[in-house]
């Protein structure tokens, strides 16, 4: 294994980067407003040995609930600001790290520059001794970077991350790390390699976003981590799996198992055509998930699409409107959940909204149509 060359940063009492052990983290999937459920989720992740636990915050009420949640745990907490970056000064005193997504800064307060918005977050972090993660995500890349690199989505992500690092450097803020996530393991590998080449000093958090359900989700993640960690890239990891809330501890145990295997040179071979067949990507769910039926829906989509396993198709199942619309754009069929209906898309085109009772039949029909248009026939074992 190549040694890691990143600088050390501090997240509460934890150090990451340099020769620090690779930290394993996860995220609560409960509504942050549901304090007992979120506290229980934190307990499950603590029992599983999480080094960092991330919580999503969308509004002032979430911040109020976070105050109570914070009192009940000594864990290192990270907060996900997503679109509401103005909450940074309110959450920073309660947590050890703030994650912001550069792609989400674009939409809010268009009269302000991105740099001004970043400075606002940096000031909140600095005043409260918080670390920052610049979290770039394939499904929500800043539109300016998408326009600059229309044929290279990886470079759009990497350049955006590098520019944000430059902002923080210019502001004299060093306590930060970066993540570059995609649902395609090969893109995660390439993006992190390119970034690490350009900024070998910046600690990296690794993850394959929307990896989906075990076992496929674990295999996709393992592919990326094996390549990166063995090359000395990666200071923290998260295995994003679509699992019922009570089983979320698996994200930690699986992460540790993968790291242990890499450490001992145990690399699992992956069949050559692993990603050339049906690929179901699904978000791991979080407090923004719009309907409790999400995990069951993702499992049902996998069940009803089994008949088409030999076809190279991607189906994306996302839990909410925050990331769902963007992160289903590249899928052959994309589903993103609303509170009472599920939106079904083919690539960026909306096919319609359907109730949770109607959606599976509709998915099946659309799969049949796409397979017959693209491959000329329906699978023989169609049910």
Query: Of 142, 150, 199, 154, whose CA–CA distance to 181 is shortest?
Result: 154
320 binding ligand SF4? (CB under 6 A): yes
318 binding ligand SF4? (CB under 6 A): yes
Query: Of 148, 172, 174, whose CA–CA distance to 159 is shortest?
Result: 148
323 binding ligand SF4? (CB under 6 A): yes
Of the residues 249, 255, 319, 334, which one makes contact with ligand SF4 according to CB under 6 A: 319
**Region near ligand SF4 per CB under 6 A, out of 42-50, 216-224, 285-293, 347-355:** 285-293
Q: How far is the CB of 339 from ligand SF4 (least distance, A)?
A: 12
C-alpha–C-alpha distance, residues 263 and 225, integer Å: 11
Residue closer to ligand SF4 (CB basis): 82 or 305: 82
242 binding ligand SF4? (CB under 6 A): no
Distances in Å between the alpha carbon of 226 and those of 82, 242, 262?
29, 21, 6
Q: How far is the CB of 261 from ligand SF4 (least distance, A)?
A: 26
Q: How many residues contact ligand SF4, by CB under 6 A? A: 12
Our measurement of the distance from residue 10's CA atom to the centroid of its chain's CA atoms, rounded to an integer in Å, reads 22
Our measurement of the distance from residue 381's CA atom to the centroid of its chain's CA atoms, rounded to an integer in Å, reads 35
141 binding ligand SF4? (CB under 6 A): no
Alpha helices in 230-379 (DSSP H): 250-263, 294-304, 324-327, 359-375
83's CB contacts (< 8 A; 6+ apart) are 58, 104, 107, 108, 322
Of the residues 285, 305, 328, 343, which one makes contact with ligand SF4 according to CB under 6 A: 285
C-alpha–C-alpha distance, residues 116 and 314, integer Å: 38
217 binding ligand SF4? (CB under 6 A): no
Of the residues 289, 335, 359, 360, which one makes contact with ligand SF4 according to CB under 6 A: 289
266 class by beta-carbon count within 10 Å (0-12 exposed, 13-18 middle, 19+ buried) = exposed
286 binding ligand SF4? (CB under 6 A): yes
Cβ distance 90 to 79 under 8 Å? no
Cβ distance 335 to 360 under 8 Å? no
Cβ distance 327 to 283 under 8 Å? yes
Q: How far is the CB of 293 from ligand SF4 (least distance, A)?
A: 13
The 3-state DSSP class for residue 211 equals strand
**Region near ligand SF4 per CB under 6 A, out of 39-47, 295-303, 321-329, 354-362:** 321-329
92 binding ligand SF4? (CB under 6 A): no
Q: How far is the CB of 289 from ligand SF4 (least distance, A)?
A: 4
322 binding ligand SF4? (CB under 6 A): yes
Of the residues 102, 135, 203, 284, which one makes contact with ligand SF4 according to CB under 6 A: 284
Residue closer to ligand SF4 (CB basis): 45 or 318: 318
Residue closer to ligand SF4 (CB basis): 122 or 188: 188
Q: Applying CB under 6 A, which residues contact ligand SF4?
A: 283-286, 288-289, 318-320, 322-324
């Amino acid at each position: 294994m190549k040694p890691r060359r990143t600088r050390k940063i501090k997240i509460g009492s934890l150090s990451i980067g340099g020769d620090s052990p690779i930290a394993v983290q996860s995220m609560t999937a409960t509504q942050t407003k549901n304090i007992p459920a979120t506290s229980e989720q934190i307990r499950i992740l603590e029992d599983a040995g999480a080094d960092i636990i991330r919580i999503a915050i969308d509004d002032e009420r979430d911040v109020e609930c976070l105050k109570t949640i914070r009192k009940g745990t000594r864990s290192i907490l990270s907060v996900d600001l997503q679109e509401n970056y103005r909450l940074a000064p309110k959450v920073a005193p309660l947590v050890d790290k703030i994650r912001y997504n550069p792609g989400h800064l674009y939409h809010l307060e268009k009269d302000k520059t991105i740099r001004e918005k970043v400075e606002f977050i940096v000031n909140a972090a600095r005043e409260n001794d918080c670390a920052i993660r610049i979290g770039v995500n394939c499904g929500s890349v800043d539109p300016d970077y998408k326009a600059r690199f229309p044929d290279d989505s990886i470079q759009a992500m990497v350049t955006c991350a590098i520019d944000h690092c430059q902002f923080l450097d210019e502001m004299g803020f060093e306590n930060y790390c970066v993540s570059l996530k995609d649902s395609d393991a090969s893109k995660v590998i390439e993006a992190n390699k390119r970034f690490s080449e350009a900024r070998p000093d910046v600690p990296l958090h690794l993850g394959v976003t929307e990896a989906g359900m075990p076992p496929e989700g674990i295999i996709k993640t393992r592919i990326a981590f094996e390549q990166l960690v063995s090359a000395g890239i990666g200071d923290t990891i998260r295995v994003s799996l679509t699992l019922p809330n009570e089983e979320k501890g698996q994200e930690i145990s699986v992460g540790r198992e993968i790291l242990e295997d890499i450490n001992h040179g145990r690399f699992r071979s992956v069949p050559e055509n692993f990603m050339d067949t049906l690929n179901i990507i699904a978000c791991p769910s979080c407090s923004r998930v719009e309907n409790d039926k999400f995990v069951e829906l993702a499992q049902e989509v996998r069940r009803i699409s089994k008949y088409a396993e030999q076809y190279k198709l991607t189906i994306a199942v996302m839990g909410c409107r925050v990331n769902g619309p963007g992160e289903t754009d590249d899928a052959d069929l994309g589903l993103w959940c609303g509170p009472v209906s599920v939106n079904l898309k083919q690539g960026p085109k909306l096919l319609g909204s359907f109730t949770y009772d109607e959606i599976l039949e509709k998915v099946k029909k659309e799969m049949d149509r796409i397979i017959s248009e693209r491959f000329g026939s329906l699978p023989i074992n169609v049910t």
